[in-house]
Structure 1
Amino acid sequence: MTTALLIAVVLLAVLTIFNLILVLGLIRRQRSLGTGQPMLTTPAGRRPGDFETSTVDGRGLSRDGLPGTALFGFFSTTCPACHDRLGDFREAAARHSGAAYAVVVRDGGAVEPMLAGLGDTPVVVEDPDGPVASAFGVQGFPAFVLVRAGVIESSGVRVPVPA
């Protein structure tokens, strides 16, 4: 009986080690194929779709009315990572030489804590599939986009830094 048990334990250990090696190899291959940041918005080099809306303080915002450089942060009220990145975006918006806008997608969570976390940054609050998030092709949160001369210059899950 102990011989059979010993063989089973050794076989299980060998299979576990083989599985670990296989998983590590797959992770390495995935990293070598990836770009480092998932694509959550319309890719760089393209223009966002047409949109027209207003911020919570009543300022109009449209694609054709964007200044030369604009930084956008897209946040969801139910996304824990979004709440964690509010301060990073607020600081980047304060340092940014152009305009900065936060877009908060109201999808079941409270909007007020996000508004408080964004400080003086102009904020657009919209429902899922709202005009701004749709125009930028947002597929996940948080997402950050830098627009220069009407064209997306960079985007990703971290606040883009101008070149």
Structure 2
Amino acid sequence: MLDTSGMPLGPDLPEPGRAVPAFDATTTSGDRITQADLDGPDVVVLFLMESCASCVSLITGLRERPVHEGPLPIAVLVSDGPERDRLVGELEPVARVINQPDGERLAADFGVHGFPAVLLVGAGVIRSASHRLSAVPREVPA
């Protein structure tokens, strides 16, 4: 299976077509996000880890370039370290940020075992998976 960038998917990313798992999370701004929020139009879901240099670079890229014309991305930040507040602050203007103690479990439930992970999710399924933000189409698929 290939991601949209043409790179082979490894066991650390979910296969396209995988159903979105049941979940219930709260963003750093207090909004609730559940599986039902991913049943509609395509949305980008990012899984990021504080200790991952590529994740920090991806956050910078996200701030410089909107992901696509769909809903605001969801960023799951797996972090409780010293850079947590700074990273949340960088993400909040460009994404709905989830930073909960069970972030690693949420990532595993989605089939994410490597970071960063950039998923395009719509109609309740994972449409594509990559480690690169550039793999996400800029326009919402018809």
The unaligned stretches of length 5 or more in structure 2 are: 1-5
Report the equivalent of 1:144. Answer: 118
Name whichever of 132-141 and 76-85 sits farther off: 132-141
- Report what 1:20 is aligned to: none
In percent, how many aligned pairs have the same letter?
A: 27
Of Structure 1 and Structure 2, the greater helix share is in 1
Segments of structure 1 that go 5 or more residues without pairing to the other structure are: 1-34
Note the alpha carbon deviations across 1:130-162, whole angstroms, 9 max, x for none: 453132121111110000111111011012323
1:138–1:110 CA distance, 2 compared to 1 (3 A): same
Contact residue 73 and residue 89 of structure 1 kept, 8 A: no
Change (3 A) 1:123 1:141: same
Structure 1: distance between partners of 2:43 and 2:13: 15
TM normalised by structure 2 equals 0.77
TM normalised by structure 1 equals 0.68
Q: Which residue of 1 aligns with 2:42?
A: 69
Alignment of 1:86-105 (within 5 A): 86-90=59-63, 91-93=65-67, 95-105=68-78
More RCO (CA 8 Å, sep 6+): 2
Q: CA RMSD in A?
A: 2.1
Residues 89-119 of structure 1: CA deviation (Å, up to 9, x unaligned): 33234x4322411110015452122123224
Larger radius of gyration: 1
